[in-house]
Structure 1
């Protein structure tokens, strides 16, 4: 109708629009694209799944816990190979789950290799890789938690991945023993997580004609698991896609930061050293306090511009001065000491005619102290500028996620339920 205001986009649509804008503004050199090609491909696949509303659920766990059998039971078709010898899944395999979830066009179930045939470092890498490519992970166990289960669980939680536990082969325990086992598993979890009992290929005893007892496979008992998953997806499916996309983009942004810091660390150190020396010389020999301050600002501005070109993040002189102003609080104490030394030096120089040159002697060590402080301040400023330059480009996905959490109570509630991914420490790579 005429005069009606357009409906504002919902949270998921806002995430998609923000990410599309961020991706279009992402500037990568040919070298960056070559070194980060795999991560960029993963990111683009995730953004494509967000656009197409395709969600992936990965089943993860030890060899032989029945991940493939669970998928076959959920899709009601024996599409994935299972083997009593275990270990039949060697690579990730994805199949469509024929369920209708509002807001989604497709749900994929991903089978993954077993985690206990590789060492701890390999398990962590596999868990991280699975987490990056899935919107929800089911950690499948068939007993109480083992060391391998707990290690995988920690890695998945550290990635901030939505996670559920599935106790498969639950038909092996009587009802009371199964309840005690579930309590034991919950007691060993580092955080509270949903746990669902299932039996992908339950067996029941059958008496043969010769009187011997044999077991036979009966109908899968996965109704509770299916209900639990469908209930969560009905409430959160598109949100899971959006949050996973934001976190994937945030990981890629941090990988870019790390790469650029590694590539340009020595050059940045050299730049900072040259400008620090120039600034130190200027403030040491300059007798006028106002010129000290102006010269120092000019040196710092030139340093910011050079660093921005080095990191391929060009900016204007006005933007460089604005960045320095924002960083002034970090150097407030140093700035106050510099100002005090400059004032003291100027007073001592003004007193030269009165003191008959006697005030020149104390002015020299003051100038040297100024120079040393200028070097330290320039190096500190250079590190802070390098850090800020790599955070400011195009609005980081992590910042977008925090902003959405502040504005949207649903996103805020979701982030409270699932642990936040560990922050990457870039300090050792700063110049």
Structure 2
């Protein structure tokens, strides 16, 4: 069954989550309503009002693909992409299936430079489209290779064409397509070049190398564009006559396997592909929203850090400034929780501050000791001395709030969860990832600017 990520679950409306879950479950069991459910899931993804416009714009191409999939589902269309190295006969195979010269073929590498498609009228529904793609190993053709992979990822079924035993490039490409959960038919093209014994040896090798990637009954042979052969005829008088003949095209195994799959599960493949794509896009949407929230969250945290640093630096009362600092941390977490659409009460935020603070005390006790010492020094220090000690303590307060903010943001980004390692591991990871000197330097600069502005 298609799995929906926790991040996706958090940003999906409950009714859409239920429909997506039902659609993927029923699709696997062949429920007749799976196409309708897949359509509803895609429509809900497009129309979800909670997706920011900036996220939609950054994923515009993906949203266009969702609309194209909706059109395909509505008309019952199925897309089959051909995939493989250059010059293995991909275009020739599609031409042979179509019964016409729809796609260009050439002895030169890289003849196919963009994805093209043709309608396979031979299949009874007339809604099957064959898609040609560029070769995956074209020299200086990284863009073409990326295009080929994207087309294969959007298709309902892939014809992977080879003309010999598998290369490392082909094995890797097969694994990448299989990871997209697309059915694969592996076609040994140009089979006319090999004797019957050689074909059997090659097929055995292909099945062995693709075990667990391609089903054995999906490994077939084809002769899409047989090469001419010199035929010598000898008459009754013993005279020899030479003639070049082209053997007949033979793609019967490919047709039969395609027919079997399309008859048994053609529409199910389309619905499952649509659900997979919707799930992938939803994850992308979730990641972009999370990224946007994190960017805003970092600005928010820095603002509260500076506020707390100034408050602590200017407060002449020892220890009391620590109480005020805790209030700032609680306010920051409440604000962060609203940003992540997971609102917390002030009591809940206070408990979170205590949890994070407790782990910080265990992992960075020295810093907290400096924090209290600096506070105590204020009791007998006024004027310049007070500003010096207060500024030092303010920087430490800034640093501690930065850690609290990072830990709280991690907690919220994971759906109000610390994860398997708990808060101690999260705080430790944050401490290990921070450059304390850099943050303290930034703290002093932020506090100085705030004091100059009188805020």
Q: Aligned partners of 2:414 and 2:146: how far apart in 1?
A: 28
Shift of residue 378, structure 1, vs aligned partner: 2.5
Counterpart selection for 2:38 from 15, 28, 36:
15
List alignment gaps of at least 5 residues for structure 2: 1-25, 235-239, 366-394, 417-432, 434-455
Q: Aligned partners of 2:116 and 2:66: how far apart in 1?
A: 19
Are positions 1:216 and 2:239 aligned together? no
**SS at the partner of 2:253?**
helix
Alignment of 1:180-329 (within 5 A): 180-189=201-210, 191-194=212-215, 195-202=219-226, 205-207=230-232, 211-218=241-248, 220-260=249-289, 265-275=294-304, 297-305=330-338, 307-308=339-340, 315=341, 319-321=342-344
In our comparison, the structure showing a higher alpha carbon Rg is 2
Show the counterpart of 2:446.
Answer: none
Alignment of 1:64-79 (within 5 A): 64-79=87-102
Shift of residue 207, structure 1, vs aligned partner: 3.4
Say if 1:136 and 1:268 are closer, same or farther in 2 by CA, change over 3 A.
Answer: same
Counterpart selection for 2:127 from 106, 114, 126:
106
Say if 1:297 and 1:164 are closer, same or farther in 2 by CA, change over 3 A.
Answer: farther
Contact between 1:127 and 1:155, CA under 8 Å: does it hold in 2?
no
Show the counterpart of 2:106.
Answer: 83
Shift of residue 111, structure 1, vs aligned partner: 1.2
Say if 1:185 and 1:21 are closer, same or farther in 2 by CA, change over 3 A.
Answer: same
Of residues 273-282 and 52-61 in structure 1, the stretch that sits farther from structure 2 once superposed is 273-282
Q: How many residues align?
A: 352
Q: Aligned partners of 2:214 and 2:172: how far apart in 1?
A: 16
TM normalised by structure 2 equals: 0.62
Shift of residue 295, structure 1, vs aligned partner: 7.4
Q: Deviations over 1:370-391 (max 9, x none)?
A: 99766423212213434659xx
Say if 1:273 and 1:180 are closer, same or farther in 2 by CA, change over 3 A.
Answer: same
Q: Aligned partners of 2:32 and 2:403: how far apart in 1?
A: 49
Counterpart selection for 1:173 from 181, 189, 194:
194
Q: Deviations over 1:219-272 (max 9, x none)?
A: x22222111112122222222212222232233334444545666654431212
Are positions 1:380 and 2:428 aligned together? no
TM normalised by structure 1 equals: 0.65
